[in-house]
C-alpha cells in the first residue's frame, strides 16, 4: 500500500516544487520607469506576458502596451518584448518618435536579471536598475 501512496505523493510534490513564482499580475515601480508611471505586468503560465504602462505628466498621458515571452530559471528572469503599441496622441509631435524609438530598441532583445521574491514583493534587478514588483490584488 505504501508503494501506491508514493505514486500519488510524488507527482503532487513535483507540481508544488515547479510552481513558477512570477506567474500572476504585478504592479511595477522603479528601474527605468518614470516616477509618474503606473505599470502592471501579467506573467502567464504559458510563458507569455502582457504589460500596460500609463505615464501622466503635466496633464499629458501616454499609454504603452507591450507583450512578449519570459523564462524563469531559478532566480533568473528573462523577458523579450515582441509586440508593442503606444497611444501617443497626447504627446507633442516633437517627442513622439523619441518615445517609440526607445521601445523599438528593446524589441526582440532578451532583458535578463535576477528575480528575488519576499512574500508578496519581488525585486527584479537588470542592467537598467532594480524594479519592485508587488502582487496586484
Cell of 94: 516633437
Strand pairing category for 48-57 and 24-30: unpaired
The answer to the question of residue 8 being in a domain is no
pLDDT of residue 8: 42
Residue 71 has pLDDT above 60, yes or no: yes
Query: What is the span of the domain harbouring residue 128?
Result: 21-135
The confidence band for 49, taking pLDDT boundaries of 50, 70 and 90, is very high
Residue 119 has pLDDT above 60, yes or no: yes
Residue 43 has pLDDT above 50, yes or no: yes
Q: What is the mean pLDDT of residues 73-84?
A: 95
Q: Which residues contact 59 (CB under 8 A, 6 or more apart)?
A: none
CA dist., res. 11 & res. 8, Å (int): 6
> Over the stretch 27-36, which tens digit does the pLDDT of each residue have?
999 887 777 7
CA-based torsion, 6, 12, 17, 18: positive or negative: positive
pLDDT of residue 2: 45
The answer to the question of residue 12 being in a domain is no
Cell of 70: 519570459
> Over the stretch 80-100, which tens digit does the pLDDT of each residue have?
999 988 887 777 776 777 767
Phi, psi of 44 (to 5 degrees): -95, 160
**Residue of higher predicted confidence among 61 and 52:** 52
Average pLDDT, the chain: 82
The answer to the question of residue 1 being in a domain is no
Strand partners, 51: 41, 66
- CATH number, domain with residue 49: 2.40.128.280
The answer to the question of residue 13 being in a domain is no
- The number of distinct structural domains making up the chain is 1
The answer to the question of residue 91 being in a domain is yes
What per-residue string of b and e applies to 39-70 under the rule 16 or more CB within 10 Å gives b?
A: bebebeeeeebebebebeeeeeebbbebbbeb
Lowest mean pLDDT among 55-69, 83-97, 106-120: 83-97
Q: Please, are residues 69 and 82 in contact by the beta-carbon 8 Å criterion?
A: yes
The answer to the question of residue 7 being in a domain is no
**pTM above the 0.75 mark?**
yes
Q: Please, are residues 49 and 67 in contact by the beta-carbon 8 Å criterion?
A: yes
The answer to the question of residue 16 being in a domain is no
The answer to the question of residue 126 being in a domain is yes
**Residue of higher predicted confidence among 12 and 97:** 97
Amino acid at each position: 500500500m505504501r508503494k501506491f501512496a508514493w505514486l500519488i505523493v510524488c507527482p503532487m510534490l513535483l507540481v508544488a516544487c515547479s510552481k513558477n513564482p512570477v506567474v500572476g499580475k504585478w504592479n511595477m515601480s522603479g528601474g527605468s520607469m518614470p516616477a509618474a508611471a503606473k505599470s502592471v505586468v501579467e506573467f502567464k503560465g504559458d510563458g507569455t506576458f502582457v504589460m500596460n504602462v500609463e505615464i501622466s505628466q503635466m496633464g499629458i498621458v501616454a499609454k504603452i502596451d507591450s507583450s512578449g515571452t519570459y523564462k524563469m530559471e531559478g532566480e533568473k528572469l528573462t523577458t523579450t518584448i515582441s509586440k508593442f503599441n503606444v497611444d501617443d496622441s497626447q504627446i507633442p509631435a516633437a517627442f513622439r518618435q523619441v518615445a517609440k524609438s526607445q521601445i523599438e530598441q528593446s524589441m526582440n532583445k532578451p532583458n535578463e536579471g535576477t528575480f528575488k521574491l519576499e512574500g508578496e514583493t519581488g525585486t527584479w534587478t537588470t542592467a537598467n536598475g532594480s524594479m519592485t514588483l508587488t502582487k496586484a490584488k
